Amino acid sequence: MEEEIVKNKLNIKKVVIIAIILIAIVILFFVLSAIFKNRANDKTNLVINNNNVTSRLKNDIIIEDDIIYLSRQDIQNFFDKYIYEDEKYNQIITTSDKKIASIPFDEKIIEINGAKKQLNATIKKVDDTIYLPISEMHDVYDIEITYIKDSNTITMDSLDREQKKAYAVKNISIKAKPSAFSMTVDKVKKGNWLIYISTDEKGWAKVRTEQGKVGFVKESKLTNFVTIRDSMEDKSIIEGKVNLSWDYFSEYAKAPDRTNTTIQGVNVVSPSFFYIDKNGDFKENVGDQGEKYIKWANSNGYKVWPMISNTIAGIDTTSKIMNDYKLRKDLIEKIVNVCVKYNLDGINVDFENMKKEDIDLYSRFIIELTPRIKEIGLAISVDVTAPDGADNWSMCFDRNVIGNVADYIVFMAYDQYGVGSNKPGTTAGYNWVETSLKKFVTTEEIDSNKVILGIPFYTRLWSEKDDKVLSKVVDMNEIDETIPKDVERKWNDTLKQYYVEYEDELYTRKMWIEDINSLKEKLSLVKKYNIGGVASWEKDKEIPDVWKVIEEELNN
């Protein structure tokens, strides 16, 4: 009996101890919750598109005179990874999908897509940190900004994203995690609204309260779901794969007359309408014949993405433009103007032979041009060379940036051995093309759907004698009449093309042939790497059968 009494006392003691521990845990929970809540209220919270990103802020948010300032580093992190300080003109340049804005350091003014607007604040510096008045820049990033004073929270919502509201069926607690035992982050009274985000498979809805708190509640406790803003999705630039044909004619020639002709399978044509001259002036070569060309293309369902070239400008003039924001801006304005003037569908930027040290500034040009082109609903494609090669030919392109910003990046997969080569070689060997293409997708981390493979409708006839090497371009449609009929064509399975070598009374001749067979092999890479399409250089160099082959391979 005595033992049983002792045993009961011990059990009671254990129960009391457990109860005390549980009470202590509850008290600690509420104390810690209060501490964290106070800390959260001390620090301005930032919620972007229904995600609380406060912990990711690199600098505190500043709010002065109802102006919200966000640091340059945070704008770079959340809105514009390419935000740029232009020291020459003492300004910040920032871009979004369809906007480019310049903001001087010492003026209450902003210029957005060429239009100036007064601001209520300037850029400020705090301990060498640059802060921008983001509440004055909502038009640039197309966002809605709200400051909720009671919870010291700022919400920023992209206006092109869908937004839904729901209402509380009864008084509810919003949990930090989808669990009834999770900490409460906010309380919502019956009939109050919440931003509805999504629902998981267990019925927990992710929501945002009027106080800007993001958390979870059972969807069954919500009612009257209403879409208050629809998502705005851009239309596809091209249905299916791009099949582009460059249509080159010099600045002294007129556009070709394509009346009563069609090009099988092609959906984009790129005539050489525009160029920069040696003085850096933007020139056009459209004229009456060019306007007829555009009408012909439109009547046949072809998109028109004219090419703009820097070949005549040369390396130094191009460098001068790239190194000056105002010169870049002037060039961009002229490009936009001709796009509107001729009702074009896009633009193809073909800048080659540039200084390696201008690599970032050429990227700036594409970064600044792209939103202006997209603003008017057009496509932008940018031509680049293979990733490995000479400084001014290959190393002058930041393919990752260009591929990320532009709609398409066009890999000109030819001139593996070109006019400057001191030894004979193929124009576009399969192994070289594939290795380079793989780098675009893997090393350069470009979305494969944005990569267009440029293929050649030409090759070179190489002539060797006494260590002297010469070459001349031979169009695809001239190959059969160039090679003597009795010369054997040998298949090279590495290059995936036929090779010929023969001697005449003057030279040893060599040619790596570009024909239907070699093109088929290169075209197979479109499917293998799931890239965006093909561009062919250039119209009128081909044999008729190539168009059928390209179409079949792209639809394979």
User: Mind listing the pLDDT tens digit for each residue in 345-390?
Assistant: 999 999 999 999 999 999 999 999 999 999 999 999 999 999 998 9
Per-residue model confidence (pLDDT) at position 234: 78
Per the prediction, the chain carries an average pLDDT of 94
Each residue's pLDDT tens digit, 68-79? 999 999 999 999
Q: Are 409 and 450 a contacting pair, CB within 8 Å? A: yes
Judged against a pLDDT cut of 90, whether residue 497 lies above it is answered with yes
Q: Could you say which of 83, 110, 145 is where a domain stops? A: 145
Tell me the average pLDDT across 524-546: 98
Instruction: Domain of residue 257: give its range.
Output: 242-456+515-554
CB atoms within 10 A of CB 256: 18
CB atoms within 10 A of CB 1: 5
Q: Could you say which of 208, 229, 250 is where a domain stops? A: 229
464 part of a folded domain: no
DSSP single-letter state for residue 531? -
* Calpha distance 499→509 (Å, rounded): 11
299 part of a folded domain: yes
Each residue's pLDDT tens digit, 41-74? 579 999 999 999 999 999 999 999 999 999 999 9
Tell me the average pLDDT across 434-457: 98
Domain check: are 419 and 538 in the same one? Answer: yes
Instruction: Label residue 4 by pLDDT band (50, 70, 90).
Output: low
Instruction: Label residue 19 by pLDDT band (50, 70, 90).
Output: low
253 part of a folded domain: yes
Domain check: are 247 and 219 in the same one? Answer: no
Domain check: are 100 and 65 in the same one? Answer: yes
Domain check: are 437 and 352 in the same one? Answer: yes
Each residue's pLDDT tens digit, 213-223? 999 999 999 99
* Calpha distance 145→154 (Å, rounded): 7
Per-residue model confidence (pLDDT) at position 433: 98
Tell me the average pLDDT across 105-127: 96
Per-residue model confidence (pLDDT) at position 127: 93
Tell me the average pLDDT across 331-349: 98
CATH code (residue 127): 3.30.457.10
Q: Are strands 204-208 and 193-199 parallel, antiparallel or unpaired?
A: antiparallel
Q: Are strands 274-276 and 307-309 parallel, antiparallel or unpaired?
A: parallel
DSSP string computed for 129-189: EEEE-GGG-HHHHTEEEEEEGGGTEEEEEETTS-EEEEEESS-EEEESSSSTTSPEEEEE-
397 part of a folded domain: yes
CB atoms within 10 A of CB 512: 23
Domain check: are 313 and 401 in the same one? Answer: yes
CATH code (residue 382): 3.20.20.80
Domain check: are 343 and 402 in the same one? Answer: yes
27 part of a folded domain: no
Return the bridge partners of 218, or none.
204
Instruction: Label residue 467 by pLDDT band (50, 70, 90).
Output: confident
What share of the chain has pLDDT > 70, as a percent? 93
Domain check: are 224 and 260 in the same one? Answer: no
Judged against a pLDDT cut of 90, whether residue 106 lies above it is answered with yes
Q: Count of domains in the chain?
A: 3
CATH code (residue 195): 2.30.30.40
Q: What is the largest CA-CA distance in the chain?
A: 127
Judged against a pLDDT cut of 70, whether residue 232 lies above it is answered with yes
234 part of a folded domain: no
Q: Are 43 and 57 a contacting pair, CB within 8 Å? A: no
* Calpha distance 126→111 (Å, rounded): 24
40 part of a folded domain: no
Domain check: are 133 and 170 in the same one? Answer: no
Domain check: are 270 and 196 in the same one? Answer: no
Per-residue model confidence (pLDDT) at position 42: 77
Domain check: are 137 and 168 in the same one? Answer: no
360 part of a folded domain: yes
Each residue's pLDDT tens digit, 433-445? 999 999 999 999 9
Judged against a pLDDT cut of 90, whether residue 125 lies above it is answered with yes
Q: Could you say which of 229, 250, 282 is where a domain stops? A: 229
Domain check: are 269 and 173 in the same one? Answer: no
Tell me the average pLDDT across 248-274: 97
Domain check: are 213 and 250 in the same one? Answer: no
3 or 269, higher pLDDT: 269
DSSP single-letter state for residue 203? S
Q: Are 423 and 464 a contacting pair, CB within 8 Å? A: no
